[in-house]
Amino acid sequence: MRRTLVIIKPDGVNRCLIGEVIQRFERKGLKIIGLKLERLKVYQLKDHYSHLSSKPFYQELMNYMTSIPCILLVLEGKDAVQVVRTLVGSTNSREADVGTIRGDFAMSVQTNIVHASETNEIAEKEIQRFFKEEEIIEYDQLNFNWIYCGSEKEQYHPSDVEWKSDQEQYAKAKEEKRKIE
């Protein structure tokens, strides 16, 4: 399983789109394993947008991102990073595909509702930047069996691995008992 970071930015919060955005991730089949409302700090955003620090829009971007609280999410799923980027759409909302979050709800290059990590490596760093370890909660979700096919589940579901090793241990114990008898 892969994890990715999503931020519902101040425009998403102010435009009352929190529920709508989260619903899109939920109904796709992504699992929410981290969720909080937080006003982002300048030092966090300096790291987060360090690659944009020389851009003319940088200061405006920092002001916007610190203006009111954001919603922060950690989502889990197979190929979660790419799946979420596809659901979010391209940076310039005016050009984003219809059906994507930015394509459906935004008109701006800057106020484009959501942030989503771009690669697996970046996602890991971004999750660590915004979440403490104890704020991420692993659990079994009941709809899991219907979201992935058998081989995907075997490969990716941690409790399947546990279940399998339980079964292996049980089979071994049974075999040993049989030998003794």
Task: State the residues that interact with ligand UDP by CB under 6 A.
Answer: 52, 57, 61, 91, 109-110, 112, 115, 118
Residue nearest to ligand UDP (CB): 110
> Which one of ligand UDP, Mg ion, none interacts with residue 57, CB within 5 to 8 A by kind?
ligand UDP
In the complex, least distance from residue 130 CB atom to ligand UDP, rounded to whole angstroms:
15
Say how many C-beta atoms besides its own lie within 10 A of residue 37's C-beta: 12
Distance CA 89, CA 96 (A): 5
* Beta carbons of 125 and 6 less than 8 angstroms apart: no
Query: Strand, coil or helix: what is 21?
Result: helix
- For Mg ion, the closer of residues 118 and 140 by Cβ is 118
Residue 48 annotated among the catalytic residues of the structure: no
- For ligand UDP, the closer of residues 68 and 147 by Cβ is 68
- For Mg ion, the closer of residues 50 and 145 by Cβ is 50
70-86 as b/e: b if 16+ CB within 10 A: bbbbbbbbbebbebbbe
Residues near Mg ion, by CB under 5 A: 118
> Which one of ligand UDP, Mg ion, none interacts with residue 112, CB within 5 to 8 A by kind?
ligand UDP
Query: Strand, coil or helix: what is 143?
Result: coil
> Which one of Mg ion, ligand UDP, none interacts with residue 24, CB within 5 to 8 A by kind?
none
Distance CA 117, CA 80 (A): 10
Catalytic residues: 115
